[in-house]
Amino acid sequence: MPWFSLSPLRRITHVVAAILTVAVLAAACGGSDEAETAEDATDTSIEAATEGPEPTPTDVAVVTSTPLPTATPLPTSTPEPLEAPTPSAVLLTTAFTNSSQVTTVGIDEVFFGMTPEEAAEAASTAWVEIPSGNGQCYRVTPANGPDRLELWIVDGFVERLDIEHPDIRTRSKLGVGNTIAELRSQLGDRLTVETTGDGGQVATFTPSDAGDDEFRLIFELEDDQVVRYRSGRIGIIQRAPESC
């Protein structure tokens, strides 16, 4: 029978029945979702319970190396100072005396690179020019001695010192009369020795100080004894005496 042909009371009854049916179906669907949600939550709880807390990493032991033993330095050999020979003359009133010291850079307070005037004032003397050389290079000796000591003036400056006097010696008390063995005992491996064509020897001392590397000490020997020596700037100290 068509729905519209029903009496009003029966139509209301059908509507109520339809609403109740829809409600029951909605409740059934909602319950299923909740059940799935609860199931998921249960599964998560089980997984969390199964996994447990993350393990704490164990500290890795640091391997330390044993330090090598410190090397013991070799003892440094110190040359024993030579005794100065007995003076052949007492030099008291001369420009340079028995206590004067020759170095790679000059003698006493006279240094290579000074003008002749500065050097004369430092030595409290006047210079006497030796007849030789020319305007660019000439030799002088102190007016009040000692003899056998000459300074070279090159291009207006003191640049070299030649010594044959036995009482004017180096800081290490080396000079005329010393042997190669005595030179080596004081100057060590900084000394190089060459043999000349006439059988003599030339021993050259090279300083180790950076500020003195432009200078040298050269000893000339005959029959293993120093007969003369000189100090001066490289390039000038190697010149032959007759060149100035």
Q: Is the pLDDT of residue 150 over 70?
A: yes
206: exposed, middle or buried (Cβ count in 10 Å: 0-12, 13-18, 19+): middle
What DSSP state is assigned to residue 195?
A: E
- Whole-angstrom CA distances from 64 to 37, 61, 67, 69, 218 are 56, 9, 9, 15, 57
- What is the overall mean pLDDT for the chain? 81
> pLDDT tens digit string along 42-81?
444 444 444 545 555 555 555 555 565 555 554 555 677 7
Those residues whose C-beta lies under 8 Å from the C-beta of residue 183, and which sit 6 or more positions away, are 174, 191, 203, 205, 219, 226
List, in sequence order, the alpha helices (H) in the chain.
Answer: 8-51, 116-123, 180-187
Q: Is the pLDDT of residue 35 over 50?
A: no
Flag whether the pTM goes above 0.75. Answer: no
Tell me which amino acid residue 5 is. S
Banded model confidence at residue 97, pLDDT cuts 50, 70, 90: very high
Banded model confidence at residue 12, pLDDT cuts 50, 70, 90: low
